[in-house]
Amino acid sequence: MSARWRIQMSVAELRARLVEDAAVIYPGPYLNQLRGESIESQCQELLASGVRRIVVNFQDTELINSIGISILLGVIESVNESEGALMLSNLSSSNRELFEMLGLLSHVEVEETEEIALLKLAEAGRAPM
């Protein structure tokens, strides 16, 4: 049982989808350097193609390491620099605690669910500048 669990963890793929003109990225069960870099390149592609609103949904993310967090912080900066907006959603309590401890939450907004995050991003997009 445990072996199968590990195998699934190691082969998990990064998943993403477009919702209207926003994108949702799912980092998978373990956000490490590899998956952090996948998110980074995915976001670069999205920004290049004109997508400015991105949600990172951590629903299936059981573990996160510091390298993954560092890369995520870089991604947040890149999106902000491109005048886009990025939100996090579906954080478990332990992942939220980790982000809070490392000061990540002062750089990015977190919403309970992906749907709320998308809604807030859409509202922000419509608000007068």
Partner 1 sequence: MSNSEHTRILSRLPETESVDRESVVSRVCEFAKSNPGTNALLLGGARVGKSEILRRTFDRLFNERGDVVPFYYAANHTCIDLTGFARDFFSQFVTQLLAFKHNDAKLISNDAEAFSIPARSLPDDCAWIRSLMDSFAQATKLQDPIGLLRCALSAPEISTLRGKLVPLVLIDNCHLLGESGFHSELLRALRPATPATIPSPVFVLCGLRRAVVELIPPETELFDRLETIEVEKVDVQLYEAFIGRLSDSRGVETNDSTIELITQQLDRDLFYGRAIIEAAASRDVALKSFMDFQRIYTSEILAGRIGRYFDALVRETASDRQSARVALNALALIEEAGSPLPIDALVERVSEHAVAPYELLSKLHSRELLTAGYGFVSASTDRVFSDYIRAKYRSEIAGASQPIAGNELLGEKLKDSYRMMMTRYNRAIELQVVEIVSRFDFQSVPSSLFDSVSFDKRYRGLGRVQVRRALTEEQERVRLPQTVVVHDLGAGERLGLSFRLFAAKGFEGGIYTDANEVLWLIGLINSKEPLDVDTLVEIDQHLEAAVRRQTILFTSRVLRWYISKEGFSAVASDRLSSLDSYSSTYAQLDLLQDYLTSLALGGDARPASEFELVIPIDGDAELIAARTAEQIARTADFDQDSINQIKTALIEACINAAEHGESPDKKIHQRFAIDDNRLIITVSNKGKSFGRANGQSPPSVPTGSKKDKRGRGLQIIRALMDEVEFERTDDGTRLVMTKYLKRPDVN
Is residue 124 near partner 1 by the rule CB under 8 A? no
The Cα–Cα gap between 13 and 25 comes to 11
Longest dimension (CA), the chain: 53
Contacts of 126 (CB under 8 A, 6+ apart): none
- Phi and psi at 28, nearest 5°, equal 90, -175
Stretch of residues binding partner 1 (CB under 8 A), selected from 41-49, 50-58, 78-86, 97-105? 97-105
Among 81, 83, 93, 123, binds partner 1 (CB under 8 A): 93
Is residue 66 near partner 1 by the rule CB under 8 A? yes
Stretch of residues binding partner 1 (CB under 8 A), selected from 43-51, 53-61, 78-86, 102-110? 102-110
Name the token pair of 73: 């912080």
Q: Smallest distance, Å, CB 102 to partner 1?
A: 6
Is residue 70 near partner 1 by the rule CB under 8 A? yes
Q: Residues, the chain, total?
A: 129
